[in-house]
Amino acid sequence: MLRPDAGVGGSSGAAGSGFEHGPDAGGGDEPPRVYCDAVAEVFRYKCGPSCHQNVGFDSGDFAVGPDEARTHIDRVSAQGERCGVYINSREPQKSLILTKITGDYPTPNCGAQMPVGSFEITDEEVDCVSDWLEQFAR
């Protein structure tokens, strides 16, 4: 399901309009850019509540809600700079959130590929996360 500013506006990670950044932000006659709601469509089901929906989990509570997601923009990985930033505002496709899913992150010492365990992630879910990250572009 696609929603404007999905996972960023509102108070529970649901769709909303509280995020003013993004490649298509601003006024005009064009409808707002629609982003995949990776919080609802991927993170909640593939990552589980003990990972990225755990309030206060310093290295990954970005799926809790919009405020938590914003705190991960351009924030260096808990494993250090060489592992990247959680949400890369300049190059969203290089965000650690996405590269950990695709296996395209620096190894060793940057943690395991996500999602951990026996959860598999589909190409459509990868595309959803990729699209979700685009709303953080500056």
Task: Encode pLDDT of 125-137 as tens digits.
Answer: 999 999 999 999 9
**pLDDT band at residue 120 under the 50/70/90 scheme:** confident
pTM exceeds cut of 0.75: no
Kindly report the average pLDDT of the chain as a whole number: 75
Q: Most distant CA pair in the chain: distance in Å?
A: 48
Sort 107 into a burial class: Cβ within 10 Å, 0-12 / 13-18 / 19+. exposed
3-class SS of residue 34: strand
Query: What is the b/e burial string over 11-27, where b = at least 16 CB atoms within 10 angstroms of the residue's CB?
Result: eebbbbeebeebeeeee
Residue 73 has φ and ψ, to the nearest 5°, of -70, 125
The average pLDDT across 65-94 equals 88
Q: What is the pLDDT of residue 91?
A: 96
Whether the link from the prior residue into 108 is cis, omega within 30° of 0, is yes
pLDDT, residue 48, reads 61
Query: Average pLDDT, stretch 105-134?
Result: 87
Confidence band, pLDDT 50/70/90 cuts, at residue 99 = very high
